[in-house]
Amino acid sequence: MCAAPALLIDGTAHIGADRLFGPLRLEIAGGRITCLLGPSGVGKTTLLRLAAGLDEVTRFEGSIAACDGLPLAGRIALMAQGADLLPWRDVLGNVALGARLRGQPPDLPRARAILDRMGLGPHARKRPQTLSGGQRQRVALARTLMEDRPIVLLDEPFSALDAGTRAQMQDLAAAHLAGRTVLMVTHDPGEAARMGHVIHILSETGLETVAPPPAAVPRAVDDPETLAVQGRLLARLRDLGTGA
């Protein structure tokens, strides 16, 4: 049994009679960050939702399993695009939401400790509406960490943030998600180049793997090799976008 299990997604996805993607075989390395890039509409988010057990529309033939053979339910945390905080709960209540939804008493001291680590301690009793976009995203990250799951699925979590805040969030997320199995769907080649231990591009023709920069994650925003990989990823995405 591995602490942060690898995931294997192997199969073909259809919506109605139309093939969405596959057959493909995506290995998500245990304890590492796997970034998934690709043109819009290619099925990146669907793949993530399938892994989370949320997709009810797509017909997936194949298997989605952890390396230890145990079921995935209850071992996954999800952080989606937009912070999706509950406006009627304060920051602390949002971070402790998971326990309430499972009918357990929330561990408030731990929630406060996580908020402190995110620099949100003074905002614990505020409503999400009163926070900035970056702060809200930190609350969402705190909520994800509060769940303390070995597998974390990130669906373009920082796409709505400005460039500077996004870079900060990437550092924060990389630091706090270290050691977990992370699948991160992103549109941003720069994000993939900074965050990915493993980088894949999903396109209509299938899955391509791109060698990540050698530096440790999170890589510096101005690291030349990271920027070179970012450039290669962007060029490849442009070619895929024009159907090359």
Partner 1 sequence: MNRVLILAASTALALGLWQALVVLASLPPFILPGPARVAETLWGSRALIAEHGLITAVEVLIGLALGAVLGGASAIGLAASPVARRLIRPMMVFSQAIPVFALAPILTLWLGYGLASKIAMALLIIYFPVTSAFFDALMRTPQPLLDLGRVMGANPARLMWHIRVPAALPGFATGLRLAAVYAPIGAIIGEWVGASKGLGYLMLLANGRAKTDLMFAALIVLAVFTLLLHRAVDAGCRRWLDNQAA
Does 147 contact partner 1 by CB under 8 A? yes
Residues 107 to 126 in contact with partner 1, rule: CB under 8 A: 125
Q: Which is nearer to partner 1, 10 or 55 (CB)?
A: 55
Does 32 contact partner 1 by CB under 8 A? no
Residues 75 to 104 in contact with partner 1, rule: CB under 8 A: 76-78, 80-82, 84, 86, 88-90, 92-93, 97-98, 100-103
Does 70 contact partner 1 by CB under 8 A? no
DSSP string, the chain: --SS--EEEEEEEEETTEEEEEEEEEEE-TTSEEEEE--TTSSHHHHHHHHHT--SSSEEEEEEEETT----TTSEEEE-SS----TTS-HHHHHTHHHHHTT----HHHHHHHHHHTT-GGGTTS-GGGS-HHHHHHHHHHHHHHH--SEEEEESTTTTS-HHHHHHHHHHHHHHHTTSEEEEE-S-HHHHHHH-SEEEEEETTEEEEEPPPSSPSSPPTT-HHHHHHHHHHHHHHHHHHTT-
Min separation Cβ 204 and partner 1, Å: 26
Q: Which is nearer to partner 1, 49 or 236 (CB)?
A: 49
Among 3, 54, 163, 228, binds partner 1 (CB under 8 A): 54
In the complex, which residues of this chain contact partner 1 (CB under 8 A)? 49, 52-54, 73-74, 76-78, 80-82, 84, 86, 88-90, 92-93, 97-98, 100-103, 125, 147
